[in-house]
Amino acid sequence: MHNCNKSWLNLLFLSMRKIIHIDMDAFYASVEQRDNEALRGKPIAVGYSEARGVVATASYEARKFGVHSAMPSLTAKNKCPGLIFVPPRFEVYHEVSMQIREIFLEYTDLVEPLSLDEAFLDVTVNHKNNPSASLIAKEIQQKIFEKTGLTASAGVSCNKFLAKIASDWKKPNGFFVIPPEEAEKFVENLKIEKFYGVGKVTAQKMHEHRIFTGYDLKQRSETELVKLFGKAGHSLYSNARGIDEREVEPNRITKSISTETTFLQDKNDRILLTVELYHLAKEVMERMQEENFYGKTMTIKVKYADFKQITRSKTLTQKVTEFRQLWPVARDMMKLIDLSEQPVRLLGFGISNAGEEIEKKDTQLELWLF
Ligand code: DCP
Ligand code: MG
């Protein structure tokens, strides 16, 4: 949607922001190699080697064999027979994540973590009054290495879309800047697989429409892109021009908390599945308490043996704050899951819909101020 709000002045302002994206290199694997000398220089995969196991991440030595995140462990073993599997130690990854976050916060409060190992920083204005985002990014990489013994890659540009591409450009231990004046040319040459939100399925569809690069994307109108790709069409249209207006959002509001498990063997016994659900619900409750997030809607997700997926949700009138409120409802929802046709491969549980009380309060406050 192009409208008069997007004046040239607005666009100029947006192109003057200084955004950094930091992403740790082969994160879980690097931590394991750091803490165990015997694993250094070796092809390792963090994850379990069992039948249904998947690789969380692989060391760079293993990636040479084609092993990567989310690959089934069996496939990984076939590709790289000498692959060493290491079980994950989430507490340690979490600890490192907190250490790097502390470093980011020395520079700006505008830090938006995307996962344990990556974050966006808006350093347009920063605590060090350092006008160079590149120097800040390099300093951060240096500090991360000193504090954790691990390397990170950094990308610098004027928006999130470009900064994230930049951090990936020279991995590992990479540093890359996309200056605003070079953005458009840079994006023209970019493969569409690198665009935000373009996974395998979308990429395939783009290829069918003869879109392979940023340049190809730029030839299409916004209306056409929306027709082809739905809502994502708007951001594809902007991104193809090197534009991304999204702000760096610190304390991004949690919208839902969920967890899921894939069974080693498919299950169709309702009692066993209810026991599994109990563990998932316990975990979700713990995380709700940790994050101080309480929602009204509970959702059960089931993936059957043939990969068909269904969800069942129930919304309560009040937020769930205790397990004894949650469990009877979740248990009853489980009774509604059809087990007559196929066994279950994956079970998930989540909670969402925290309501909008806080936002409403803010609006009232604004009225007062006027
Ligand atoms: N991760 C996971 N499952 C995935 C992808 C990632 O468990 N499908 C975990 C393990 C990774 C961590 O998240 O170490 C960070 O993900 P990245 O995509 O940043 O991957 P890496 O840091 O491992 O590698 P890279 O050097 O490419 O950033
Ligand atoms: Mg990473």
Count of other CB atoms within 10 angstroms of residue 368: 7
Cis peptide, bond prior to residue 179, ω within 30 of zero: no
C-alpha distances in Å from residue 74, one per residue of 191, 303, 304 = 30, 21, 21
Report the chain's terminal Cα–Cα distance, integer Å: 30
- Report how far ligand 2's centroid is from the alpha carbon of 271 (Å): 39
Q: Which of 76-90, 173-187, 257-271 has the lowest mean pLDDT?
A: 257-271
Tokens of 246: 């999204």
Tokens of 151: 């390397």
Q: Return d(Cα 333, Cα 66) in angstroms, integer.
A: 42
Strand partners of residue 351: 257, 298
DSSP annotation of 39: G
How far, rounded to the nearest angstrom, does the alpha carbon of residue 179 sit from its chain's CA centroid?
A: 25
Cβ atoms 316, 296 nearer than 8 A: yes
**Ligand 1: does its nearest atom lie under 6 Å from the Cβ of 126?**
no
Render pLDDT for 235-284 as a digit per residue (tens, 0 to 9): 999 999 999 999 999 977 667 888 888 888 899 999 999 999 999 998 88
Cis peptide, bond prior to residue 172, ω within 30 of zero: yes
The percent helix, strand, coil of the chain (3-state, each to 5) is 45, 20, 35
Render pLDDT for 304-358 as a digit per residue (tens, 0 to 9): 999 899 999 999 988 888 898 899 999 999 999 999 999 999 999 999 988 643 3
pLDDT at 359: 32
C-alpha distances in Å from residue 335, one per residue of 8, 214, 298, 310, 332 = 58, 49, 14, 14, 5
**Ligand 1: does its nearest atom lie under 6 Å from the Cβ of 97?**
no
The pLDDT-based confidence of 101 (bands split at 50, 70, 90) is very high
**Ligand 1: does its nearest atom lie under 6 Å from the Cβ of 32?**
no
Pick from 152, 140, 155, 224: which is nearest to 194 by CA? 155
DSSP annotation of 186: H
pLDDT at 124: 96
The answer, yes or no, to whether residue 2 has pLDDT greater than 60, is: no
The pLDDT-based confidence of 145 (bands split at 50, 70, 90) is very high
118 is catalytic: yes
Compute φ and ψ for 198, nearest 5 degrees: -95, 100
Tell me the pLDDT of the chain averaged across its residues: 89
Question: Whose atoms come closest to the Cα of 60: which ligand?
Answer: 1
Q: Does the model's pTM come out above 0.85? A: no
Cβ atoms 252, 112 nearer than 8 A: yes
The pLDDT-based confidence of 360 (bands split at 50, 70, 90) is very low
List of residues 6+ apart from 133 with CB closer than 8 A: 18, 19, 20, 123, 156
Count of other CB atoms within 10 angstroms of residue 3: 6
Query: Which candidate in 118, 181, 184, 286 is catalytic?
Result: 118
